[in-house]
Amino acid sequence: MQISINSVSVENLQAVLDLRVAPDQISYIESTAQCLQEAEECSCYVPVALYADDELVGFAMYGFFPDEYESGRVWLDRFLIGAQYQGRGLGRIMLSALLDRLTEQFGPSDIYLSLYDDNQGALRLYEKFGFRFNGESDLNGEKVMVRPQTTQEKHKPFL
C-alpha cells in the first residue's frame, strides 16, 4: 500500500469536506469544514489529506505553536479516518506516517494531542504509539496526551 500525505488544495477540497467519521464518533472531532476554518484563522495549523493508494481516506491537522510554554509545542491537533475506511488498520498506518512527518518537519520533539478520555478507540491507538496523559486539559475539556521524543522509537508499533 502506498501512503501519501498531501496538502489540501482546490483539487481535493470537496473530497476532504465530504469526509465523515462514524456516527458514534461525531462528538469527538470537529468536521473537516470546521478544521479548515480554524486553519484559515491560525497560520500555525497545517491541514493535510491522507491517501492510501491514491484514494483519500482521512484528514489531519498539525502544527507548531511557538507561544506555548518556553520552547513551543508540536501538536497533532486533528486526525480522522473516513467511516467507510475504518477497520482496515489505516488509523495505525496513517498515524505512523503522520508522526514521521512531524519529526521530519519539526525535528525530534515531544508531540502533543488531546482527546476526550471516553474515546476508547482513539485512546488505545495513541497509547500503542507511546502517548500518555500528562495531567493537562485543553480549553474544550479534552485530556492532553504527550509522546516524549525520548520514547518515540521504542513505541513505534509494527505495521
| pLDDT band, very low/low/confident/very high, at 155 (cuts 50, 70, 90) | very low
The answer to whether the predicted template modeling score (pTM) of the entire model surpasses 0.85 is yes
The three-state secondary structure class of 77 is strand
Average pLDDT for the chain: 91
By DSSP bridging, strand 111-115 and strand 143-147 are antiparallel
Domains in the chain with CATH codes? 3-155 (3.40.630.30)
Looking at the predicted structure, is the pLDDT value of residue 150 above 80? no
Average pLDDT of 137-144? 91
Q: What is the pLDDT of residues 94-125, one digit of tens each?
A: 999 999 999 999 988 999 999 998 999 999 99
Alpha-helix residue ranges (DSSP H) falling in the chain: 13-18, 32-41, 90-106, 120-128
Percent of the chain at pLDDT > 90 equals 83
Percent of the chain at pLDDT > 70 equals 94
Residues 38, 45: contact at Cβ < 8 Å? Answer: yes
Active-site residue set: 126
How far is residue 53 from each of residues 4, 98, 146, 147, measured CA to CA in Å? 8, 16, 30, 28
Q: Cα–Cα distance between 116 and 142 in angstroms, integer?
A: 5
The string of DSSP codes covering 79-92 is: EEE-GGGTTSSHHH
* 145: exposed, middle or buried (Cβ count in 10 Å: 0-12, 13-18, 19+): buried
Give the chain's end-to-end CA distance (angstroms, integer).
Answer: 11
Residues 39, 46: contact at Cβ < 8 Å? Answer: yes
Q: What is the pLDDT of residues 48-91, one digit of tens each?
A: 999 999 999 999 999 999 887 778 899 999 999 999 999 999 99
